[in-house]
Chains A and B, each alone.
Chain A
Amino acid sequence: MIRLCFNKGTILLRGEVGTPYGKWDPRVECYRIKAMHYWDALAYLKESKLAFQDDVPNLPPIQQLNSTVELRPYQKEALDRWRHANMRGILILPTAAGKTYVALKAIGLLRTQTFIVVPTLDLIDQWRKRVAEHLNTEAGAVGGGENTVRMITVSTYDSAYLQAETLGNKFMLIVFDEVHHLASPSYMQIAEMYIAPYRMGLTATYERSDERHSLLPRLVGDPVYTVGVEELAGEHLSPYTYEKMFVELTPDEQRAYDDEMATFRLYLREKGIVLRSAEDFQKFIMVTGRDHRAREALLARNRALKIALNSDAKLGLLGRQLEANRNEKTLIFTLHNDLVYTISRRFLIPAITYQTPREERREILENFRKGEYKAVVTSQVLDEGVDVPDASAGYILSGTGSTREYIQRLGRILRKVEGKRAKLVEFVSKETVEVGISRRRRHKKATED
């Protein structure tokens, strides 16, 4: 008898038969198939009219769903396109355009075992909450110490990757939130090791600078719907103003900054190193592993950037701004955790970093949403996908200037109040222009997992 079974993220086909989708595995002496090709193999066996036993799916029980999701016209269109593409494909919608609702509606329609994969623990909380609100059922969670599998289960990319061996045969629909992450070499194995025939990818930033997004159609389906910010702005998204404020370092800071940068530049000049691209920088970092002086130079540069970043003048300006705009709901963004805590201690503002206990983080966001906390300071952990409670003012304490995309991303979590436009302000240190390096680093960060 031919038998199909799930084996650690793959399918084993036992019996004297192969399929065009499998590969002979001499180690176990039978055919092995990628979980992603399970349905193709199944269709092949059925077409061939072969008798077989299928032990692959191990689906959690179906729960009662009561879907109350109402879609806006563009959301409805996105969903329709996806359904017409055999319930596979990627939807490209700007932040705050309500991607979540499209997915919730799809789940409500399919009423099947669904796995939602998200980049952060915050997003797990957020999705679970939405599922409870709009589908009236409790979702399970995998990641961040939790491990409960239910009909609808939310997981981080990390846990989905690490636990593919045991979770791969438990879902029919898989939703990849911020699907551009899936294209990384390790995360793409999630798509390969789960059997789910129905797949939905959601993102606001489909394209990756490393071009790996070209792998996504094979894993999730083609981009089936795209709508840009411009088309939605005003109507569904709030507009905001953006302003740059320059700060001068204090004389002491400026001196220290210049010294450190001189050390760094001297080294580069001596060795004839030119840092023009992210690759150049990566190469330089590798050299620092071998060459003590290169490392010294790198550390000097880092110290300089830290001075620019943590400048006292900048904190003074922030204080004045906070005071002047004390009734605005305010978010403060920084690049480094150290600065988050410096600001939190100085102004006694709640802080959120990767070190914040999960419960406390939940409570802070909740209080901010309710308006009980006026301001929150955070490092980059909130800058993607998280449904941050709407704020009317945002401050970015960057070192030397941020990329346009980065500004836009932060800007989209702002909301206008009482007819007034929301504002986003970036503090940049004058006379510390290492814009190139700083931008490249952020650029690199954005393309990493």
Chain B
Amino acid sequence: MLPSELLAVWKRKGDIWPRYARATEDSLEVANSLINAYKDHVGEKKSVLKAFASELEDKGYEYRFVRGLAYLLDRKGTFKCNEGINPVELRRRIFQATEELGLATTPERRRRIVETVASELKVRSETVDEFLYADLDSELVLEEFEPLAPDELLKEYNLSLTQTLLFDSTELNFTASGNWQRIFYAVKRLGLIYEVYKDGRFWVKIDGPASLFKLTRRYGTATAKLLPTIIANPEWTVEAKILWRYTNEICRFKLEGWKHRAMLKSPQQPKVSYDSAVEQDFAEQFQGLKTGWQLKREPEPVPAGKQVIIPDFSLEKESVKVYMEIVGFWTLEYLLRKMEKLKKVEANMLVAVNENLACEKLANLEKNAQLNIIYYHDKIPLAPVLRYLEGAFQTVQTRQTGLLKSLSVIFTEPFVNYEEFAARIGVSTEAVKEALTEKPPEGYTAMSDGLVRRDKLEQIRRKIEEQLGPTGRLPLPDAIRIIESEGVADATKSLEALGYKINWHGINAEEAEVAKL
């Protein structure tokens, strides 16, 4: 982030953008020469570096750009006061000597004062002059410098410019592809307030408590600090309202990942880390089990009214999704508040509660049977989790089956694949299969993988009849070929439905024959 006087922008018809540094030959040249200057001037005063920067300005490079880069480079170096004499102590001595000898209104008297102090400290007079204000910012000496590549510096500059512009923001809207737990944690830590809404994508609006009462830049700094966490994602879009300080007009600012990512320094996407060993342990154990449930860490937030819940895990099987939250320290109030939030969510939530860290008696909790709770000590037991998951799956499936049964779906296509149909309407395959097998729709026959329209079966029957020949038998492979050529996968079931049987001669399907019952 830069001092606001170094912020350069473009403004047009209510839109505003920072004047980003493009990686042109010129810009890279400025960045490179500044980096080299810092590298070459280790051991010298800050004022020397400042002089170098103003030389670049004199050459006609935009001064805010040059100073902005220098500002960032200052932060990559360590500046220190030259060691030897403590300037504060030196000044004290000088001023005391001045009191005794009189103000240095003549060169003669000045020399006498300096010499007096120099001899006290057993140093030369020049040393006194040199150290008198050695602790002033411009006199500090560059001790160490951590160089970086010119294009990296430009990217960092662009990120800083963006953040500096956001100092003046009154509101920020964004969407991102992940990193949610970190984003919302940062929102909370920075004292901001969010609202979520769907506009095709999952959007978050950010401002602060007092934004309710007036348009304020108060939360601009916090918003600027949030930016790196948002753009640490592969995909994101950021839109802000900027209350431009010089004209007091509201401007729009928009930044998109696909377009701007390449020129902004992107903070490292942190690896998925676990809040606790308990979580990690659970995830590893669960994944080792091959249960058919997909475990996902940091799933996307679950909207609950205008707020969100960010569960620790989601567990998903077919269309059934269960969220899981692991609670360390807890109080009844905390869990009830959570519950209150969960009421607004159409989702299954399983809460694992640490029995050892209970701040209240468990008995209090048992009274509130609305929560799906699993107790644990050091480790989350897998059996009750799986029991809950299967229960949830069954419940959902039963509910879905019931729903499907009550619906009279009218099919027209010759084949209806259970799995495809389930995916289309968002229920589990099992539920579809159960509902449709039990009571197939008019004009359809239920197979193991889907429904087949009767007239399609009749077509198959006719083709098989034609091939049966005088013996009334047909090799099984031929029958299968006919059936499959009509697009039906389940040959066995089809033959059965058409009133054929299969005569096996040994275990070889090649030798089996199809015959009428």
Contacts and interface: CB of A to CB of B under 8 A. Distances in A.
A23 B8 contact: no
A165 B222 CA distance: 13
A25 interface: yes
Contacts of B60: 292
A345 B132 contact: yes
Interface in A165-207: 165, 186, 189, 192-193
Contacts of A348: 94-95, 97-98, 103-104, 110, 113-114
A9 B209 contact: yes
Contact of A8 (B8, B137, B191): B191
A276 interface: no
B121 to A, nearest CB: 15
A295 B64 CA distance: 12
A241 interface: no
B306 A10 contact: no
B218 interface: yes
Given A323-B103, A373-B95, A374-B103, A29 B306 contact: yes
Given A8-B209, A25-B212, A355-B136, A373 B105 contact: no
Interface string B231-264: 0000000000000001000000000000000000
A26 B306 contact: yes
Interface of A: 7-10, 23, 25-29, 32, 34, 165, 186, 189, 192-193, 282, 286, 289, 292, 295, 319-320, 322-323, 326, 341, 344-350, 355, 357, 359-360, 363-364, 367, 372-375
A333 to B, nearest CB: 17
B460 to A, nearest CB: 61
Contacts of B8: 289
B193 interface: yes
Contacts of B45: none
Contacts of A347: 103-105, 110
Q: Counting chain A CB atoms within 10 Å of each CB, which of B104, B106, B306 scores highest?
A: B104
A360 B91 contact: yes
Interface of B: 8, 60, 63-64, 88, 91-92, 94-99, 102-106, 110, 113-114, 129, 132-133, 135-137, 191, 193-195, 208-210, 212-213, 216-218, 246, 305-306
A367 B96 CA distance: 10
A193 B212 CA distance: 13
Q: Counting chain B CB atoms within 10 Å of each CB, which of A348, A349, A364 scores highest?
A: A348
Nearest to B195: A27
A11 to B, nearest CB: 10
A326 B212 CA distance: 61
A295 B212 contact: no
A322 B103 contact: yes
B88 A357 contact: yes
The 8 tightest CB contacts between A and B, nearest first, are A323-B105, A348-B104, A319-B105, A8-B209, A10-B209, A348-B98, A347-B104, A350-B95
Contact of B208 (A8, A26, A29, A34): A8
A355 B137 CA distance: 8
26 contacts: A7-B209, A10-B213, A27-B194, A29-B306, A32-B212, A32-B213, A34-B210, A186-B217, A189-B210, A286-B246, A289-B8, A289-B64, A292-B60, A323-B103, A345-B129, A348-B94, A348-B95, A348-B97, A348-B98, A348-B103, A349-B95, A357-B88, A360-B91, A364-B95, A373-B95, A374-B99
A360 B213 contact: no
Contacts of B218: 186, 189
A185 B354 CA distance: 49
A189 B135 CA distance: 36
A341 B133 contact: yes
B91 A350 contact: yes
B9 to A, nearest CB: 9
A23 B136 CA distance: 50
Contact of B193 (A27, A192, A193, A359): A27
A313 to B, nearest CB: 15
Contacts of A9: 209-210
Contacts of B88: 357, 359-360
Contact of B210 (A27, A193, A289, A363): A193
Given A323-B103, A323-B105, A348-B97, 11 more contacts: A7-B209, A34-B210, A192-B210, A193-B210, A282-B246, A322-B103, A348-B94, A359-B88, A364-B95, A372-B99, A373-B95
B103 A10 contact: no
Contacts of B305: 29
Contacts of B64: 289
A289 B97 CA distance: 48
Nearest to A288: B63
A27 B96 CA distance: 63
A23 B306 contact: no
Contacts of B94: 348
Contact of A34 (B96, B102, B213): B213
Contact of B103 (A165, A192, A375): A375
A32 B136 CA distance: 47
Contacts of A193: 210
B95 A320 contact: no
A13 B477 CA distance: 77
Contacts of B306: 26-27, 29
A108 B130 CA distance: 50
A346 B110 contact: yes
A226 B249 CA distance: 38
Nearest to B221: A162
